[in-house]
Chain A
Amino acid sequence: MTAIEIRGLEKIYTVGFLRKKPRQALFPLHLSIEDGEIFGFLGPNGAGKTTTLKLLMGLVFPTSGTARILGREWTDPEIKAQIGFLPEQPYFYDYLTAHELLDYYGQLSGVPAKQRKQRIEEVLVHVGLTDVKGVQLRKFSKGMLQRAGIAQAILHDPKVIFFDEPMSGLDPVGRREVRDLMEQLKQEGKTVFFSTHILSDAEALCDRVAIIYKGELRGVGAVADLTSTVQGKVDLVWQGTQVPASIKALGAECHVTGETVRAVIQENQQDAAIDALRRERLRLISLTPVRTSLEQYFVEKTQKADSTAGAAV
């Protein structure tokens, strides 16, 4: 089943006071996100990620296009009871404590009073915000605010969760925890749509990704497919400090790091290389095909767009 279906959502802002000019923030966007997927929405700053999320949340109105979430029109207020949203760099009512904030949001989302108290405790533990009872949000660090933001997004047990740059402001441990949380949400059957410009996060988490650049969709697909372009080379790693002459003769690019050596060779020469290591009594650690990383794919898609634009000029 399709959880989110975006059909031609487009946003044109008008800028300037006297001489008004149109500025295309988002070109018509078509996307389908399946139920239970973790979907990464990738793009550099200013690419149109936040605009897309704001359109889906009904915070800005589209110039054209529609969307459906869980089979219903995205403008239907009732569908929002099944949606969670974490805005980029969230800022909350800083005179409230985390418990009060979540209680307020629980009320607005229609969580019954009896369940609310227990649910608040659960999500606070879930996001690692313990020992904050009685502490106003104005005393929270950036990372703690981000955690409170995640807590409010999942408080009402939504089926679809939108995260805008969820790892922003978090330290490496916090980022890892958020990644684990997203994995857990997926296991619970939730659909997670998250925007990021940190490609390693997307690569580690997402079933599929879309790349957006200058308001335009540049590519979409499963991470495994986008990164599966085998370049006809293999990556060979063995224990040692020297490169045998027989491997050098294969024309390998070799790098010695401490007690390991890494060599990139042509795929059709891998048997010869392994034989050479056996002869030299060197211990093979790994042999993996060289794949295009998500980063390479991303750079290729965005640079291609720039060069096309440059050529057009």
Chain B
Amino acid sequence: MKARIGYIAANTFREAVRDRVLYNLIAFALLLSGAAILVGQISIDIERLVVVNLGLTAVSLFGIVIAIFIGIGLVSKEIEKRTLYTVLSRPVRRWEFIIGKFFGLAGTLVVNTFFMAIGVFAALLYVTHKFSVSDAFILVALYFIVLEFLIICSLALLFSSFSSPLLSAVFAFSLFVIGSFADDLRGFATLTHGLTRWIATAAAYLVPNFSTLNVISAVAHQQSIGAQLIVQNTLYALFYTAVALSGAVLIFERRNLK
């Protein structure tokens, strides 16, 4: 069982690599080196702030684009191209296929983030000439970004298990945008009354809370991140991912592959 999930994950990772997904690293490297050189020339005392802000935001955006655009095709493309037929006619359970696909995409994003993180630290070293203790929190911000990717991957898979790639992209991207303002949505819910309050509160807690996972600005300003937030965000991301993946499995288990 574990082995089959691993084989499917490894094949998904190989597909991403062969489809030149990791080429985005070149664009990322160009963007960051250009920014580092420019910032080094025009900024006074805020080089670190700009590089960390720009670098981490780019890591997040690049990853989210990859998570959405690969994630939405993970199941639907296999059905459309009928590659799934020769997989599911083997001793592979449908849930194993979904979980394997998830780990394959998550693995791709982790590797991608790892190389981007090296780029961020290299740019930071270029503009500041040395690392400080507070730079360690950049690793926490990167960890939260990876948690964000896990949620996006599971949501993209969920949508991919029942709708077309275009609709899945729209749903996943909308949830990402709404989820980025989840704290505001929760604040808005407290200002309303009656049925509207119920609906707004339900919506606020149903959408993924990406606000809490975004500590880029705090890290750029050399603020520390508490251990409690790390544990809380880890549990939240794992729970949300597990629920979305369970939904994807439940739908896919019942789907006729016409």
Contact = CB atoms under 8 A, between A and B. Distances in A.
Interface of A: 13, 54, 57-61, 77-78, 80-81, 83, 85, 87, 89-93, 95-96, 104-105, 107-110, 149, 152
B87 interface: yes
B83 A92 contact: yes
Contacts of B254: 61
Interface of B: 3-4, 7-8, 11, 14-15, 18-19, 81-93, 254, 256-258
8 contacts: A77-B91, A77-B92, A81-B91, A85-B85, A85-B86, A87-B82, A87-B85, A96-B14
A293 to B, nearest CB: 33
Contact of A81 (B8, B15, B19, B90): B90
A108 B90 CA distance: 7
Given A60-B256, A77-B93, A107-B4, 12 more contacts: A54-B85, A57-B89, A58-B88, A59-B256, A60-B257, A77-B91, A77-B92, A91-B81, A91-B82, A108-B7, A109-B90, A109-B91
A105 B19 CA distance: 20
Contacts of A61: 254, 256
A4 to B, nearest CB: 14
A54 B257 CA distance: 8
Contacts of A13: 256, 258
B167 to A, nearest CB: 15
Given A60-B256, A95-B15, A95-B18, A108 B85 contact: no
A107 B93 contact: no
A59 B258 CA distance: 8
B91 A78 contact: yes
What 3 A-B pairs come out closest when comparing CB atoms? A95-B18, A85-B89, A60-B256
Contacts of B90: 80-81, 105, 108-109
A104 B91 contact: no
A95 B15 CA distance: 7
A157 B105 CA distance: 32
A184 to B, nearest CB: 22
Contacts of A96: 14
Contacts of B84: 59
Given A54-B257, A59-B257, A93-B11, A83 B86 contact: no
Nearest to A80: B91
A85 to B, nearest CB: 4
Nearest to A77: B91
B83 A104 contact: no
A105 B8 CA distance: 10
Nearest to A103: B7
B19 to A, nearest CB: 7
Contacts of B86: 85, 87, 90, 92, 105, 149, 152
Nearest to B7: A107
Nearest to A109: B90
B15 A59 contact: no
Given A93-B11, A95-B19, A57 B91 contact: no
A90 B82 CA distance: 7
Contact of A59 (B14, B83, B88): B88
Contacts of B83: 91-93
A181 to B, nearest CB: 18
Nearest to A54: B257
B258 to A, nearest CB: 7
Contacts of B89: 57-59, 80, 83, 85, 87
A107 B3 CA distance: 8
Given A93-B11, A95-B15, A107-B3, A57 B256 contact: no
Contacts of B14: 95-96
A48 B60 CA distance: 49
Nearest to A108: B90
Residue from B88, B91, B254 having most chain A Cβ neighbours under 10 A: B91
A58 to B, nearest CB: 7
B11 A104 contact: yes
B15 A57 contact: no
B174 to A, nearest CB: 23
A108 B87 contact: yes
A80 B91 CA distance: 5
A93 B258 CA distance: 19
Contacts of B92: 77, 80, 108
